Structure 1
Amino acid sequence: MKIESIRLKNYKTFRDVHLTDIPPFLVVVGANGAGKSTLFDVFGFLHDCLKGNVRQALDKRGRFREVLSRGVPENESILIEIQYRMPITNVERLVTYSLEIAEQDGLPFVKREVLRYKRGRYGSPYRFLDFTNGAGFAITNEEDFHQPDESLDREHQTVAPDTLAIKGLGQFERFKAANAFRQLIESWHVSDFHITAARGRKEAAGDSEHLSETGDNLPRVALYLHERYPEKFQEILQIMAHRVPGISRIEPRLMDDGYLTLRFQDGSFKTPFLDRYVSDGTIKMFAYLVLLHDPHPHPLLCVEEPENQLYPKLMTELAEEFRLYSTRGQVLVSTHSPDFLNALQLEEVCWLVKKDGATEIRRAKDDAQIARYMSEGDQLGYLWKQGFFEGADPQ
């Protein structure tokens, strides 16, 4: 499953943008406040809507009027539209999920929620889920492609006006497209890694199969990999030994008091030491490798500014790690690092430009001058520093 395009209207700084032809690995650059975090927050917002409801997700962000673009009339709505490819009846099909949110009498509600795709090569996309203000229908036999459109079974349902229809219907296998999109939202990962949260002793019980958004379960995930996927864990250790001088071994250990901790072995010392004595960069690199070498990768991975606390010369190898991951799951990264950009290809980069309070998205591959310089052997990081990413610098 791969996201092909994102359209945002009236979502914070994005008054009306449409990012198309999204590659498996995309890196976003731009000045502070240009909208990089907001772009990633769209995925977090949908995830929060699914965990709770639209009202709770908006409250977390300051309520509807704080999420609605500034200067837009209050009776306008917020639109989020995502197109993604998924296999249906053994054919890759382009599915569109459209969510429109409005407010009435101070209460947010789902004005329209639609899930659609083409059943055949020709014709318009067919709506397999269509809800307005809490009422609508979903198709239960959408894979019966030999049936004419009028013969499809529509199951009419009602949900709370501030609840996504895919939250309830997506639990059932009979709603194929809704179920697949719900799984996509539930399994994507928007990283909010904190080194302080990753350090120290951790309780042995808890989530251990995937690294959490903050990284606070790093010792548990390391132990899980060490015990269940020893070859994968050894691969991570080999990369660490190559990229972090001195580190020869990392051991997740269950202590006598029942808590887990990480112990690092430096080749210069006989005794391993606890993670609280290890540099921030070492902890962060290990956490990224654990995330990127997950045996069951996330379909979408979003990481903001991975260069923080890491040595600049590691940027090329880190970019390659993200690119390798993108062969298993899609990756979106934001950065301020020219060294990281220097490791990227033309089609992998876009930048954000803020004009009159609204954000625009520009692609490096669409800029003739940048493309020409790249064809002559230049690198994107140097071009960015020299001001060729027009509008990307703070004004």
Structure 2
Amino acid sequence: MKLETIKVKRFKALYDVELKRLPKFGVFIGANGSGKTTLFEVFGFLRDCLVTNVRAALQRRGGYKEVVSRGCEEDGIYIELQFRMPIATVERLVTYSVSIKLEDGRPVVAEERLKYKRAAFGSPFNFLMFRNGSGFAIENEEDFDRPDEELTREFQELESSDILAIKGLGQFQRFKAASAFRQLIEKWHLSDFHINEARKTQEAGYAEHLSPNGENLALVAQFMYENHRDRFDLVLKKMTQRVPGVKEVEAVETEDGRIVLRFQDGSFKDPFISRYVSDGTIKMFAYLLLLHDPAPHPLLCIEEPENQLYPSLMIELAEEFRGYAERGGQVLVSTHSPDLLNRIDLDEIYWLSKSEGRTIIRRASENEQLASLIAEGDLPGTLWKQGAFPEIDPS
């Protein structure tokens, strides 16, 4: 599955934005405070709504009034995603939308829909529609020989009006699109990597996937070493090529039952534990483990990967992101690195700016001047430093 379109209304500074034809690898640039983090937060918000409920997801962000755009409390928050998925052997464009409002001082799911076209022509058909905690879902959605009026509607009443319908219905395979979309959201990875968390020793345990803040780095390294040795060896090979001196990395269990990472420098006899290794070394190792995960996340969001990394490494990291996308994941990255941007196609670049407190998102390939300069041989990162992206420089 691949996200095709994102439409957001009245979510913080994202008053009314729409991104169409999303690439498998997209890069977002803009000044501090332009809305890059807020855009990625939309994905985290949806996942929190699914895992818990709308009220809890809002409370984690300061409450409804802190999340809805200023002056839009009555209109509420609206999020719409379009993604492609196979249904009955045909790739279909599925649209999911959710509207969140206040009712008697409580946040509720005012409306939730999941729809797609049953045939090549005609309007998209609602296979799931709920309002304020009650609604229906179509059971036999893959029975395309039946007319719309003969499809079986299963009516449901949710426990609470702040719960997403896909949370419950998505657990049942008979609701194909709802189940697939639920799994898509659950597997999103929104990287919020913290060096200090990754340095910590871990209780002996088990972890297959790197957590958002990276605190289970040692456990994931151990898992990959023991279960996917070929991938771990590839990660180690790339580490030796990109970080001077690194010869080997291993996850070791201590006498008190904890797991620590040890980095072997070729110039020294004894290895260094992660606590005494540079920030950039830890971060590059974490990114390589994440990007060589045997089960890629359908969506990977990474903010400012250039922090703590030497500029020339961004060129190779850009290729790693692209490789991950080509293997089946979708990668969205925000950056302030011209070096990374120089490795990105113009159609993969978006730039964000603000006007009257509201975020504006533009696609670089739709700017004629930028397209002309790139066609003449200029590089996006160089043009960015020269101020060729309109309204991006806050000064």
What's the TM-score, normalizing by structure 2? 0.98
Which range is displaced more, 248-257 or 288-297? 248-257
- Give the structure 1 partner of residue 306 of structure 2: 307
Q: How does 1:240-255 map to 2 (within 5 A)?
A: 240-255=239-254
Matched, 1:379 2:379: yes
Distance 1:242 1:88 in 2: 43
Q: Secondary structure at the match of 1:296?
A: coil
Q: How does 1:1-395 map to 2 (within 5 A)?
A: 1-72=1-72, 74-159=73-158, 160-206=160-206, 208-327=207-326, 328-395=328-395
CA RMSD in angstroms comes to 0.8
- Paired residues, what number? 393
**Structure 1 residue 134, shift from structure 2 partner:** 0.5
Q: Secondary structure at the match of 2:5?
A: strand
Distance 1:290 1:241 in 2: 14
Task: Say whether the 8 Å CA contact 2:28–2:334 is kept in structure 1.
Answer: yes
Name the % identity.
Answer: 61
Distance 1:139 1:71 in 2: 37
**Structure 1 residue 295, shift from structure 2 partner:** 0.3
Paired amino acid for 1:293: H
Paired amino acid for 2:87: I
**Structure 1 residue 240, shift from structure 2 partner:** 0.4
**Structure 1 residue 364, shift from structure 2 partner:** 0.7
Q: Secondary structure at the match of 2:239?
A: helix
Paired amino acid for 1:105: D
Paired amino acid for 1:380: P
Paired amino acid for 2:372: R
Paired amino acid for 1:61: R
Q: Secondary structure at the match of 2:120?
A: coil
Write out per-residue CA displacement over residues 360-385 of structure 1, whole angstroms, 9 at most, x where no aligned residue: 11011001111111111111111111
**Structure 1 residue 71, shift from structure 2 partner:** 3.0
Paired amino acid for 2:20: T
Question: Any runs of at least 4 consecutive aligned residues in structure 1 with deviations exceeding 6 A, and if so which?
Answer: none
Distance 1:32 1:191 in 2: 18
**Structure 1 residue 105, shift from structure 2 partner:** 2.1
Write out per-residue CA displacement over residues 147-175 of structure 1, whole angstroms, 9 at most, x where no aligned residue: 11111110000111100000011011111
Distance 1:145 1:377 in 2: 50
What's the TM-score, normalizing by structure 1? 0.98
Unaligned runs of 5+ in 2: none
Distance 1:65 1:25 in 2: 33
Q: Secondary structure at the match of 2:71?
A: coil
Task: Say whether the 8 Å CA contact 2:200–2:215 is kept in structure 1.
Answer: no
Q: Secondary structure at the match of 2:282?
A: helix
Distance 1:342 1:110 in 2: 42
**Structure 1 residue 70, shift from structure 2 partner:** 1.4
**Structure 1 residue 282, shift from structure 2 partner:** 0.2
Distance 2:136 2:71 in 1: 35
Distance 1:31 1:70 in 2: 21
Residues 249/50 of structure 1: CA separation in 2 closer, same or farther (3 Å cut): same
Distance 2:16 2:230 in 1: 47
Paired amino acid for 2:61: R
Paired amino acid for 1:192: D
Distance 1:254 1:92 in 2: 47
Q: Secondary structure at the match of 2:75?
A: coil
Distance 2:201 2:191 in 1: 21
Q: Secondary structure at the match of 2:192?
A: coil
Distance 1:376 1:276 in 2: 48
Distance 1:60 1:201 in 2: 28
Distance 1:200 1:210 in 2: 17
Write out per-residue CA displacement over residues 271-301 of structure 1, whole angstroms, 9 at most, x where no aligned residue: 1111111100000000000000000000000
**Structure 1 residue 139, shift from structure 2 partner:** 0.5
Q: Secondary structure at the match of 1:143?
A: coil
**Structure 1 residue 200, shift from structure 2 partner:** 2.8
Distance 1:336 1:276 in 2: 27
Write out per-residue CA displacement over residues 338-362 of structure 1, whole angstroms, 9 at most, x where no aligned residue: 1111111111100111001111110
Q: Secondary structure at the match of 1:123?
A: coil
Task: Say whether the 8 Å CA contact 2:324–2:331 is kept in structure 1.
Answer: yes
Write out per-residue CA displacement over residues 25-62 of structure 1, whole angstroms, 9 at most, x where no aligned residue: 00001111110000000000011001110001011111
Unaligned runs of 5+ in 1: none
Distance 1:228 1:91 in 2: 35
Distance 1:345 1:54 in 2: 37
Distance 2:66 2:235 in 1: 42
Write out per-residue CA displacement over residues 224-262 of structure 1, whole angstroms, 9 at most, x where no aligned residue: 000000000000000000011110100111122111011
